[in-house]
C-alpha cells in the first residue's frame, strides 16, 4: 500500500473557458476534483494500479464534499475531522491557450489535538505501507515540522518516503533522511533567493542534501524534465515534447506515477522515467492530475536518462 499524507487537502474547481478580458466567462467545461498535491499524486497512483490510502484533515461542508469526491475517484481515506472548512482551489483554463491562473486558498486552522490525532493515525498505518508520500503545505495551526516528523517515522520503520515539500517544511525534513525529495526548480530558487537558479546551483544544493542523508534529490525542470542527483551520480531525464495546455499538477502527476511504478517494480530509474512521461501526458487534460497507463507507454520511449548538458 502507498500511504499518502496530505495535511492540507482541497476541493479543486476547474473551469475551461473562452477567455475575453473584462467579460463574464461561462465555462464550456467545469469539473470538481479531490485536491491537494498529495491527493493528486494518490489519484494518479490509483489510476496506474496501485493500492493507495489518503490521510489528512477534512472539515465542514467543503470537507464533506471532499470526502465524496475522494470516494468518486476511487480513493480510500482515513481523515481527521476538524472544525474548519476544507479549503478550495480554482483553476481557469482557456480552451485554446490552456492554463491562465490557479487560485489557492490557505486552508482551515487546525489545533494541536487535531495534529496529534493525524500523526497517530499515520504512525498506526506505517506497518502496512510499502511506500509513503508526504506532500503539500501544512494548514494554519499545524507545526511546520509535522511533515518532518512523518519522514523521521518512515525512516525508522524502513519505509521509503517521498517528501514532496517546499520551503521551511522541506528544510525541516532534510535532516530526517527522506528517501527522495522532489522540489521544483522554482521552489529551489525560492530557497536560494534567486528566480533564475542555474543547474550548477541546484546540483550544489542537492549535494548538501545528500550529505545530510537524503538518498535521492529529484528537481523537476518543467518542460526540460527532471534532474536526478544521488550517490550514483547526476542524471538528466529529458521530457517528451508535447503541446502545452494545462501544466497545473504536473509535478504531482510525476510523484504519483513514480510511486506506483516503484512499488510495482523496485526499479527507481524506470519509475522516474514513468513519472516524467506521466507529467508530460497530464498536460493534455483539464484535470489537475490525470494520465493513463497507455499515455505513459506511448511517451516512455521519449524519456531518456542522459548526462546533464545544460548551458
**Percentage, residues of the chain above pLDDT 70:** 99
pLDDT at 195 over 80: no
Number of domains in the chain: 1
133 within some domain: yes
141 within some domain: yes
Cβ–Cβ < 8 Å for 42, 74 = no
311 within some domain: no
223 within some domain: yes
3-class SS string, 78-91: EEEEECCCCEEEEE
Domain extent, residue 47, equals: 2-306
Residue 310 is predicted with a pLDDT of: 59
Instruction: Work out the mean pLDDT of the chain and round it to a whole number.
Output: 95
pLDDT at 308 over 90: no
112: its cell numbers: 494541536
Residue 58 is predicted with a pLDDT of: 98
pLDDT (tens digit, 9 = 90+) per residue, 237-247? 999 999 889 99
* Average pLDDT estimate for 28-34: 96
Give the residue among 76, 84, 87, 70 at the shortest CA–CA distance from 8. Answer: 87
pLDDT (tens digit, 9 = 90+) per residue, 200-214? 899 999 999 999 999
204 within some domain: yes
pLDDT at 194 over 90: no
pLDDT (tens digit, 9 = 90+) per residue, 123-162? 999 999 999 999 999 999 999 999 999 999 999 999 999 9
Residue 311 is predicted with a pLDDT of: 54
Residue 197 is predicted with a pLDDT of: 84
Q: Give the side-chain half-sphere CA count within 13 A for 97.
A: 9
Q: Cα separations (Å) of 309 from 183, 226, 305?
A: 20, 13, 12
Long-range (24+ apart) CB contacts under 8 A made by 180-183 are 180/214, 180/215, 180/216, 180/217, 180/218, 181/209, 181/214, 181/216, 181/217, 181/218, 182/218, 182/219, 182/220, 182/251, 182/254, 182/255, 183/219, 183/220
**Whole-angstrom Cα distance, residue 90 to residue 73?**
19
- The residue that leads in pLDDT, 234 or 199, is 234
242 within some domain: yes
What DSSP assignment string belongs to 90-126?
EEEEETTTEEEEEEE-------HHHHHHHHHHHHHHG
Give the CATH number for residue 140. 3.40.1190.20
Backbone angles phi, psi at 277, to 5 degrees: -65, -40
* Average pLDDT estimate for 2-20: 97
pLDDT (tens digit, 9 = 90+) per residue, 157-190? 999 999 999 999 999 999 999 999 999 999 999 9
Rg (CA), the chain: 18
pLDDT (tens digit, 9 = 90+) per residue, 41-80? 999 999 999 999 999 999 999 999 999 999 999 999 999 9
pLDDT at 309 over 80: no
3-class SS string, 248-299: CCHHHHHHHHHHHHHHHHCCHHHHHHHHHHHHHHHCCCCCCCCCCHHHHHHH
128 within some domain: yes
Amino acid at each position: 500500500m502507498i500511504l499518502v499524507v496530505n495535511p492540507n487537502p482541497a476541493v479543486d474547481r476547474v473551469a475551461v473557458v473562452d477567455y475575453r478580458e473584462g467579460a463574464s466567462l461561462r465555462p464550456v467545461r467545469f469539473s470538481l476534483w479531490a485536491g491537494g498535491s498529495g491527493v493528486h499524486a494518490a489519484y494518479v497512483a490509483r489510476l496506474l494500479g496501485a493500492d493507495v490510502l489518503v490521510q489528512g484533515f477534512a472539515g465542514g461542508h467543503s470537507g464533506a464534499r471532499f470526502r465524496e469526491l475522494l470516494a468518486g475517484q476511487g480513493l480510500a481515506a482515513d481523515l481527521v475531522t476538524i472544525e474548519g472548512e476544507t479549503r478550495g482551489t480554482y483553476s481557469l483554463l482557456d480552451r485554446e491557450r490552456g492554463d491562465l491562473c490557479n487560485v489557492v486558498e490557505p486552508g482551515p486552522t487546525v489545533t494541536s489535538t487535531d495534529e496529534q490525532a493525524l500523526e497517530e493515525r499515520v504512525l498506526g498505518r506505517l506497518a502496512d505501507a510499502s511506500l509513503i508520500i508526504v506532500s503539500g503545505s501544512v494548514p494554519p495551526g499545524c507545526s511546520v515540522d509535522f511533515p518532518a516528523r512523518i519522514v523521521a517515522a518512515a525512516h525508522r520503520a524502513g519505509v521509503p518516503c517521498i517528501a514532496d515539500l517546499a520551503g521551511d517544511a522541506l528544510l525541516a525534513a532534510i535532516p530526517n533522511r527522506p528517501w527522495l525529495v522532489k522540489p521544483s526548480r522554482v521552489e529551489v530558487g525560492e530557497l536560494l533567493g534567486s528566480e533564475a537558479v542555474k543547474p550548477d546551483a541546484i546540483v550544489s544544493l542537492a549535494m548538501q542534501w545528500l550529505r545530510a542523508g537524503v538518498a535521492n534529490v529529484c528537481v523537476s525542470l518543467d518542460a526540460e524534465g527532471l534532474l536526478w542527483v544521488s550517490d550514483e551520480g547526476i542524471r538528466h531525464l529529458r521530457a517528451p515534447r508535447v503541446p502545452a495546455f494545462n501544466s497545473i499538477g504536473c509535478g504531482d502527476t510525476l510523484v504519483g506515477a513514480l510511486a506506483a511504478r516503484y512499488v510495482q517494480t523496485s526499479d527507481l530509474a524506470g519509475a522516474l522515467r514513468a513519472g516524467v512521461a506521466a507529467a508530460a501526458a497530464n498536460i493534455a487534460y483539464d484535470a489537475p492530475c490525470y494520465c493513463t497507463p497507455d499515455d505513459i507507454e506511448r511517451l516512455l520511449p521519449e524519456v531518456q536518462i542522459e548526462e546533464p548538458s545544460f548551458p
